[in-house]
Amino acid sequence: MENNSDIVVYRLGANCELDDVKVGNIYEASVQGFANFGTFVLLNNHIKGLIHNSNVITDHKERDPIFVKVRNVRDNGNIDLEEFIPEIYRTENIVKKSSSARLSDLSRLVGRRVSLDVEVAQIKQTSGPTIFTFVDESGSENGAAFIEAGKRAYPEVELGDMVSVSGEVMKRNGQLQIEVGSMRVLTEDEMLEVKVRINDALEERAKPKDLPFLVESEVLEKLKPEMQKVAQIVRKAIFTAQPIIIRHHADADGISAAVAVERAIVELIRENGGDPDTDSHLFKRAPSKAPFYEIEDVTRDLDFALKDNVRFGQKLPLILMMDNGSTEEDEASYRLAQVYDIPIVVVDHHHPDESTDRYLKAHVNPYHVGGDFGVTAGMLGAELARMISPAVEAVVRHFPAVAAVGDRSEAPERQLYLDLVSDDYSEDDCKNIALALDYEQFWLRFNDGREIVKDILDVNNNHERHKKLVALLVEEANLAIAAQLEASMPHVSEKILKNGAHLFTLDVEMYAHRFTFPPPGKTSGEVHDRQCRSHEGEPVVTLGIGPDFAVIRSRGVLMNIPEMVRELREEIVGGGVNGGGHLVVGSIKFVEGMRDTVVKCLVKKIGEYPLDS
């Protein structure tokens, strides 16, 4: 007679198969349903057996727990069971390790059952099944789990959980999909092991290739490790189905930088099995009017991200700042993003403030390695794009030249990038593309204008349309600039500063057309260019003054705009001074009632800076 104290009740793990079922063993099961001849029970999520009526001891209803003893396992896979009621027993779990299958293997396993340890990257409830996006070190795929139409399957599974999932690999509408048979959240020990395995492999997979730059540049070589770090962060975000938002300054340099990286991200999403056209919530590019991350910008981004988190069940995004993000003006927005643990990386060429780095996962800026704003964001963006996806090189190789002339770089890299593409795009071509971008973005406002911007940058495989569009936009832009200067130039005042520089001042609120192209910054720049041509070889500073702002353009004066902003903020009580930009090109904001005081102090400070010998 069997000693009850020696009875073992086995609990089959979700990954166990028929060959793990042994005749004579007792198993913990659950009632699945009933027939005239007996009761069907589940030993785990997919192994089913039958208790003939003659071997049923007690009454049950569906989903009741039950103990069963295996009488026979037939050649056809049917399992004959009998109900067993142990008084004293101990339980043992039979845990079968997941197969060596990875998500990248599924294409050759269609029609077969697989078991995998994966991370849940997205949970989307449809009117039918629950769709889970799974990620491991090799890729990402979807799984469909169905309990009841429109009802959440596996409600205990949350975004970011590590799970053991088992099911059959199927193809639905040409897409691979796991028909989920079972899924359980891994224990803490299991999770740690799987998380380390996946993360280590993903870090290695996300490392960019060590490519030479398009041009020789000492500054770029010094920036290479940090650029590779950013590329790795972006690539890993794509591999783990984390959405990406690119925020960029809304000028030719910022647009060139951001669109280059956009092309690389889209290419890599496709290479990884995604479809950026239908999965548009995975990527977004958004221009910022100011050269820093305004509260309005981060509020919009958070609103979209949180809505998508609810609607698509996806992770919160990685934010990539381009041609902005390096200064203390960005920090208020960073603090807001930090509340939601949103990671931020920056690729910028504005003069940086050290205090911003505590909010950032990575920060590429030429000033960090002894360079300056002459290495433009467009140069950095195109080189970064090649690190993210080398396949985009042919598409973006002229972007740095466009950015260089658009941002008036005087660095040696400017000519190197122009020479690189001179057979296809002359310097005048690049200038026209840059002006067309500035003109069109003015009318686009906060919209990215994705397709028309691609036409302007000549990446839509329609060169004739590109040429016609750029020619038209340049003509319209130049007409608008001419009309603006015709009205404004008679009102430009001049004085000689203490350091001998020519100061030209224009009230862009009173003597320039408002709410049209060119805007105050561009108008001030055009006035400055004219004065520089009229005073060749002499130091020239131009101020475009509005009711609560001043735009600064300088040639030949070694000023530091971020430094002036900090000093004015401290010295003028109630001035509300803030702003920034490059060292010699930027803008300052203040409260309207303190305009005269701020401008007077600003002019005095400019006159105290040394001249460029």
Domain range 218-472, its CATH number among 3.90.1640.30, 3.40.50.2000, 3.90.78.10, 3.40.50.300:
3.90.1640.30
Query: Residue 122 has which token pair?
Result: 């997205």
Distance, in Å, from the CA atom of 201 to the CA atom of 138, rounded to the nearest integer, reads 8
Measuring CA to CA, which residue among 436, 347, 340 is closest to residue 388? 347
Q: Which residue ranges make up each domain of the chain?
A: 4-94, 103-204, 218-472, 492-608
Q: 492-608 belongs to which CATH class?
A: alpha beta
Q: What is the three-class DSSP state of 176?
A: strand
Q: How confident is the model at residue 99 (pLDDT cuts 50, 70, 90)?
A: low
**How many other CB atoms sit within 10 Å of the CB of residue 545?**
22
- Please, what sign has the CA dihedral across residues 97, 101, 102, 106? negative
What digits encode the pLDDT tens for the residues 25-55?
A: 999 999 999 999 999 999 987 789 999 999 9
What digits encode the pLDDT tens for the residues 109-134?
A: 898 888 889 999 989 999 999 999 99
pLDDT of the residue at 535: 96
Long-range contacts, stretch 150-158, CB < 8 angstroms, 24+ apart = 150/125, 150/126, 152/125, 153/129, 153/180, 154/130, 154/180, 154/183, 156/185, 157/120, 157/123, 157/132, 157/183, 157/185, 158/120, 158/123
Tell me which residue has tokens 């690389």: 264
What digits encode the pLDDT tens for the residues 166-180?
A: 888 998 887 889 999
Distance, in Å, from the CA atom of 525 to the CA atom of 506, rounded to the nearest integer, reads 11
Given the DSSP bridges, would you call strands 26-35 and 8-12 parallel, antiparallel or unpaired? parallel
Where are the strands (E) in 237-361, listed by range? Answer: 244-249, 283-288, 318-322, 344-347
Which helix or strand (DSSP H or E) is residue 196 part of?
helix 188-206
Distance, in Å, from the CA atom of 163 to the CA atom of 328, rounded to the nearest integer, reads 41
Contact, 168 vs 145, CB < 8 A?
no
Q: How confident is the model at residue 81 (pLDDT cuts 50, 70, 90)?
A: very high
pLDDT of the residue at 315: 87
* Structure-model confidence comparison of residues 230 and 165, the more confident one: 230
What digits encode the pLDDT tens for the residues 533-557?
A: 999 999 999 999 999 999 999 999 9
Phi-psi region of 259 (alpha: psi -120 to 50; beta: other; left: phi over 0): alpha
Measuring CA to CA, which residue among 249, 271, 269 is closest to residue 259? 249
Asked if pLDDT for residue 576 goes beyond 70, the answer is: yes
Q: Which of 148-152, 203-207, 594-598 has the lowest mean pLDDT?
A: 148-152
The answer regarding whether domain 103-204 maps to CATH 1.10.3720.10 reads no
The predicted model gives 228-243 an average pLDDT of 94
pLDDT of the residue at 478: 97
Q: At what angle do helices 252-271 and 377-388 cross, to 10 degrees?
A: 0
Pinpoint the alpha helices (H) of 489-560: 520-534
Percent residues over pLDDT 90 in the chain = 73
Contact, 349 vs 376, CB < 8 A?
yes
pTM of the model: 0.81
pLDDT of the residue at 277: 58
Asked if pLDDT for residue 602 goes beyond 90, the answer is: yes
Q: Do 103-204 and 218-472 fold alike per CATH?
A: no
Contact, 198 vs 137, CB < 8 A?
yes
The predicted model gives 513-529 an average pLDDT of 94
What is the average pLDDT score of the chain? 92
Contact, 186 vs 157, CB < 8 A?
no
At the topology level, CATH places domain 4-94 in OB fold (Dihydrolipoamide Acetyltransferase, E2P) (2.40.50)
Q: How confident is the model at residue 410 (pLDDT cuts 50, 70, 90)?
A: very high
What digits encode the pLDDT tens for the residues 444-477?
A: 988 999 999 999 999 998 999 999 999 999 999 9
Q: First vs last Cα of the chain: how many Å apart?
A: 106
pLDDT of the residue at 115: 85
What digits encode the pLDDT tens for the residues 13-26?
A: 776 778 889 999 99
Q: At what angle do helices 218-239 and 377-388 cross, to 10 degrees?
A: 50
Given the DSSP bridges, would you call strands 79-83 and 48-52 parallel, antiparallel or unpaired? parallel
Asked if pLDDT for residue 1 goes beyond 50, the answer is: no
Contact, 223 vs 364, CB < 8 A?
yes
Distance, in Å, from the CA atom of 399 to the CA atom of 417, rounded to the nearest integer, reads 9
Residues in contact with 288: Cβ distance below 8 Å, sequence separation at least 6, in sequence order: 247, 248, 249, 250, 254, 294, 297, 324
The predicted model gives 298-324 an average pLDDT of 89
Query: Residue 258 has which token pair?
Result: 């951001």
Contact, 31 vs 59, CB < 8 A?
no
Q: How confident is the model at residue 2 (pLDDT cuts 50, 70, 90)?
A: very low
Amino acid identity, position 311: R
Contact, 201 vs 234, CB < 8 A?
no
| Residue 279 DSSP code | -
The predicted model gives 228-246 an average pLDDT of 95
